[in-house]
Structures are given as C-alpha cells and as structure tokens.
Amino acid sequence: MKAQRSKSSSTLCDLALGESGILEEFDMPQSIAEHLMNLGFVPGLEVLVARSGPGGNPRVYRVDGTEVALRRDLSRCIAIRPLRTAEAEMR
Amino acid sequence: MSIPGAVSALKVTDGSPVFKTVAVVGPPNAGKTTLFNRLTGLRQKVGNFPGVTVEHHTGTYHLDSGHEVSLIDLPGVYSLNPKSEDEKVTVDVLNGEMPGAERPDAIILVLDSNNLNRHLILAGRVIALGLPTLVLLNMADELHKQGGQIDVLPLARQLGTPVALVSAATGEGLQAVANFLVATPRTPEPLELPIFGDPRRCREWAVRIGSHAAYRRGATPEWTRRLDSIFLHKFWGGAIFAVVIVAVFQTIFSLGQPSSDLLQKLLDTAAVHLSNLLPPGLINSLVVNGIWKGAGSVLVFLPQILLLFLVIGVLEDSGYLARAAVISDKVMAKVGLNGKSFIPLLSAYGCAVPAIMATRTIENKRDRIATILIAPFMTCSARLPVYTMVIAAFIPDRPVLGPFVGTRAIAMLSLYVLGFAMAVATAKALKSSVLRSRDVAFIMELPPYRWPMWKSLGLRLMDRANAFLFRAGTVILSVSILLWALTYLPMHNGQPPAIADSAISQIGHFIEPAIRPLGFNWKIGVGLLSSFAAREVIIATMGTLHGVDPASHAMALQEALKSDLTPAGAIALLVFFAFAMQCMSTMAVVRRETNSWKWPILQFLYMTFVAYAAAFVAYRITLLYWS
C-alpha cells in the first residue's frame, strides 16, 4: 500500500472529515508556524480531521493527543502527505 | 548512594527555606494557576510588570516550619521565545532582567502529565536556564484514570532535576514542593539539550526522554469526545451556542438587576441613617451626597459584574468557551475579527471594563485593539437605567405586536441593535484600514472538559471585585466629590448658593450652546457632563438639580424631565447614550490594557463625535415627524 507523495498539491485543507495525513511543511509566517509547532503540529506527525464546526469552518484537528481548531485558510498553508484510510487504521 | 534528582533523596536542612523567591512556570492549561492558588491561598496579589500589559500574581507560601517563600505566577508559555510578549516577560523575569521583579532563585515547572511529549520540550528549555528546578507532572489523577503511566525516577535522572507526580486539583503529592524548598539546592547538570531551532528534533528528544521513563499518555477522556460531538455538531452546536448566550443574558438580568436594586435600597437606607448620625451642614452633605452616593453609584454594579464573571468563569473553566470561540469564528470573520473576540464582546453587554480585561486572550495585537475599541458600543448595564427612565418618561406604551411587545420594548431593543450595528461598522472600518492584519490566524486549542473549581473561581471573582472597586472606584469617587463641590460653590455667607447661581449652573449654561442643536437644555448638559464619569450618574445629577430647584422640587424625576426635553430631544439623548463613551472606568482600563493614552483618547473622541452627530440627525428627523 503506497501513499501518494505529492508535496505541493496536498494540504491539510484537502483532507475530508475523518481522514488523516502526515505533516510536512508550513507555508506561513515563522511566528504562526512556531505557535502551531508548540501545539503539536510538528512535521512528521500524523494529523486527523476530527471535527467540522458549524458551516465547515473552522475545523478541529487531532494531533499528538490534543485537539486544535484552525480556519481553512490556515490549513491550506500546511502541506501534508495524505494517508489512505487503511494505512491510517494500521498506524 | 543517592539517585540524582529524585525528590526523596534530597538532603533536607533544618526546615528553613533555601530559596526566597520561586517562579512558577508552565504551559497554558497545565494547571499552573490551580497549583499556585493551592499553594498560596488568599495570600496573593495581582500586578502588572512596568511597561507591559502582562499580568502576574505574587503570593506567599507558608512552610510547616513557619518560614515564608514568595511565589511568582508567570504567564503560561509554550516555549521561551522572546518574540511573544508573554514569553518575553517569563524569560526576563527568570533572567532577573525585569525591572521591579526580584530574580527568582528557583523554578517550579508545572507540566500536564497527559501532554509530556510536547511539554518536556519546555522542560528542556527551562532547565537549560541553570536555576534549581522542580518539575511537577500535574493532573496525575487524570493520567492514571485514563490508563497512562510514567516512572518518576528515571525521568528525574534524565532531566537532572527533582520530579514529582502531583495533582494540584486534589492536592495529591504536593509535599514535594515543601521538600524542594528546604532541600539543598541542586543546580541542574548540563543536559543533553534538544536542538533549539529544529522542532522535529526537539520532539524526538522529548519522546526519547519520555520513553526512558516508560511514559504512556492517557487516552482523551471519552466524555470530552462525546460532549464535543454535541457542542460542535453541525446543527446542534449552533443551537446550543444560542441557548447558552441567551442563558448568560438571562442570568445577568434576572439575577443581577434585582441584586443591584436590593443593594441600592440598602445603600439608600444607610445614607439616611448616616445623614441622621452626622450634624447637619457641610460635612454631612459632603459625606452623604458626595462620598456615600458617589461610591454607591459604583457599588450597585458589583453584583452584575461578579455574576458576569462567575458565568463566564464557569464557561471558561469547563472548556466550553473554547468551543464557543470556534462556533462564533465564522461570524466574527465577517467583520474582520476572529472567534477569540467573541467572549469579550459578550461580556461587554454586562460591562465594558471586564470585557476589555478579557481581550488578553487575543494574541493578535491589532485584533485585540479593534475588540477593545468596539466593546463600549455594546449596550452595557449602566445604560439600562438611563434608557428605562427616558423611555418611560417620553414614549407612550402602546401594543405593537400583541400584548407583550409594545412600543417601549421595541425602543429598548432598537437601542441594543443600534449599539451592535455601530460596533460592527466600526470593526469593519478599523479592520479594513488602520488595524488591518494580513496574517489572521485563528488557532484555538480545545482543552478537555473539566468541572470548574469553586476555589479558583472564587479567587478570581475577588480579584475582579478588588480591581473594580479600587481602580474604578477612585475615579468615580473623585468626580462625585467634585460635582458635589460645584453645586455648593460659590458660598455666600457660609450658605450654599441657589442652584441657578451655583458653579455647576454656570458650567451648564456655558456648554448650552454646544448641546442646544441636540435639543438639550443646561440641566441635561450638566447631566451629560457628569455622565462622562459613569453613564448612570446622569440620573443622580438630574435628581439633584431638580431636587434643589423649587419649580420641580415636588415632581417625580420622570415628570420633571419633561420640562428639560421635548420628545425629539429625548430621542436624541437616547441615541447619544447608545454611542458615547461616557465611562471613566472604561477609559482607565483601556489606558492600562493598551499601555498608552493614544487609544483611549482616540476612542473617546471617535465615540463622542459619532454620538453627537447621530444625536443631531435623530433630533432633526424626529422633529419632522413628531413634535
């Protein structure tokens, strides 16, 4: 089972509710990226779209044991490698 | 053979503390404040460091031996990055570079034992500062309940500092703090430190340290997920949110107003007794009319303010407010703000002062200032008595929509809508011009739901009560005394003048040309002037002015008002109150929170201008249709 590797095309925003991916890169000002990393958004970790708020924005992500809400425009700046559902279940 | 770092192995001295000042450091939501409250109880005070708006608490911890240690509760930090204001304060205090704060000789680091993979990174950075450090792994009860575990001794060996598993909520394990404070200090040995710039390697380091200590995180409590699936539900989330908001208002009005009224009655009764106790004359009048009534006009708002803080405190501590911010974010984004502004704006319906203090949770400075600037447009409780009085005096009560919704209710509702609409318009204007921020990042951590703890809520309420009474009270008190003096001057043969000859009347007549276009006479002018101290003061002022005036002496205030205002003038007055910044306490708190006079002065000028212009328009329009 091979996960697709398309660095620039997939962002956190593209994941549907219940899907997960591996964090890769942050395309945003350093201070915001650092704040995200302090909250557990560290490249290499798995992130799951846990919930979608009323109206679908912001959404709640589960990463490293905590839940964090982000707007779609910010999640679009976070590059990820999507995990297939089966692969996510195995992890 | 001692085990390096283990609490039990520390050499205990004769019971006198080896540290005088100890800083309490930790990430947000790790239970730092709960621990601090438990250790210091009521022996704490709040302060701001000079030059920054970051608040900190200091308190005293009593050892069994009777000795005292001073504890500083620093703002919650995720890391020690001097770029953020909160974190810079923490770094400066720990390095002894904060003027006005003593350099701590030791650190108590509070971490959430359910989040050690993240929090141990902070531990690495704090320990690297080289001060003797005690690491407390808090919420041990939750860790165990949720199936997690950790061995303290290997972790202490790895970190080179004493480590203890504690629960600040239950008090479990806190003997470790006493032991640490009297033990021979141990400067931590140089750690194999994480590479600071690289978050991935920092985390790898933290995970490695944790795994040496057999660390296993507990699962997220099942009921947090269950509650979130309701509170953040696509449909029910919004519905519950609306119910919560209505309940907050309902609580404040249905419980707050009667308690304020009761307090007002008690104060009035006390004033009568006080007046009887003192010999009649100047002193009597100063104490009763100047000081007592002045202080009373502030005091009556205390129940509502405390109630508001209690309700918001319960919502905050339970974890719901974080969800409310998520739900309201979409709407707030439309005016250029984010969900974090929602909470302060909600509080502003009670009182702008606590609302402005609550903007501290907004990280983005421009968003925070925009929120501070629009908060006073929300219809606060001090406007209510003014609205009620003027509406009752001038607007005939006729049913409009059935028996329950009449003209008066609609007038009141329109004033609420008016304030809200102006807040939205102002926010939009600010956020698309001077306070535009490109990188609006709404990042909201959702902590697990918890039961609020009454002790820590109570301490916060006391804090707020003190701040309100002393900071705001002093300003309003001086204005009341000044106003009183102005009705008493100039004296003739030791007698106060007739109201028409008093200094206050001269001031009123002096400003009359400026307010005549709005349909106000000099008495309303004086009332307006006095209401800049606090809105509701206008009622007391009008009472005094008509009380000493033989022409209107016997009338009820509502009747007497009709000699001052035409219906058009009354509408103008209502509109003026909806927009004007008539509150010294708000200005004082804006000055404190923005750390400059620029914003409160701009805000004052802007709101007064809007109020004047809108009142003028309202006056002219009403004259056309209803005169």
Query: pLDDT, tens digit, for every residue of B443-499?
Result: 888 888 988 888 878 887 887 788 777 755 676 677 777 777 887 777 777 777 776
The pLDDT value recorded for residue B401 is 74
Residue B13 confidence (pLDDT) above 80: no
Contact between residue B310 and residue B458 where contact means Cβ atoms under 8 Å apart: no
Whether A4 maps to a domain, the answer reads no
Cβ <8 Å between A58 and B326: yes
The Cα–Cα gap between B470 and B302 comes to 12
For B357-376, the pLDDT digits (tens) are 778 777 778 888 999 999 99
Residue B83: pLDDT band by 50, 70, 90 thresholds?
low
The Cα–Cα gap between B584 and B536 comes to 12
Any A CB within 8 A of B220 CB: yes
Residues in A touching B238 (Cβ below 8 Å): 54
Residue B614: pLDDT band by 50, 70, 90 thresholds?
very high
Residue B605 confidence (pLDDT) above 90: yes
Q: What is the pTM of this model?
A: 0.78
Domain hosting residue A80, numbered range: 12-90
Contact between residue B431 and residue B336 where contact means Cβ atoms under 8 Å apart: yes
Whether A55 maps to a domain, the answer reads yes
Domain layout of chain B by residue ranges: 7-219
Single-letter code of the amino acid located at B40 = T
Whether A63 maps to a domain, the answer reads yes
CATH number of the domain within which A75 lies: 2.30.30.90
Whether A1 maps to a domain, the answer reads no
Residue B11 confidence (pLDDT) above 60: no
Whether A81 maps to a domain, the answer reads yes
Number of compact structural domains in chain A: 1
The single residue listed with the structure tokens 């001031």 is B507
Residue B382 confidence (pLDDT) above 70: yes
The pLDDT value recorded for residue B239 is 92
Any A CB within 8 A of B327 CB: yes
Whether A3 maps to a domain, the answer reads no
Single-letter code of the amino acid located at B622 = T
Q: Does domain B7-219 have CATH number 3.40.50.2300?
A: no
Among A12-21, B235-244, B256-265, the minimum mean pLDDT is found in B256-265
The pLDDT value recorded for residue B2 is 36
Return the residue of A nearest to B232 by Cα.
A53
Q: How far is CA B184 from CA B132, B133, B230, B524, in A?
A: 10, 12, 52, 70
Q: Please state the length of chain B.
A: 627
Average model confidence (pLDDT) for chain B?
82
Cβ <8 Å between A37 and B217: no
What ipTM, to 2 d.p.? 0.85
Looking at per-residue pLDDT, the higher value among B622 and B469 belongs to B622
Question: How far off is chain B from A1, nearest CA to CA, in Å?
Answer: 26
Residue A4: pLDDT band by 50, 70, 90 thresholds?
very low
**Helix (H/G/I), strand (E/B), else coil: B143:** helix
For B557-575, the pLDDT digits (tens) are 778 888 888 899 999 999 9
The pLDDT value recorded for residue B346 is 82
Residues in B touching A22 (Cβ below 8 Å): none
- Nearest neighbour of A69 by CB, restricted to B235, B238, B326: B326
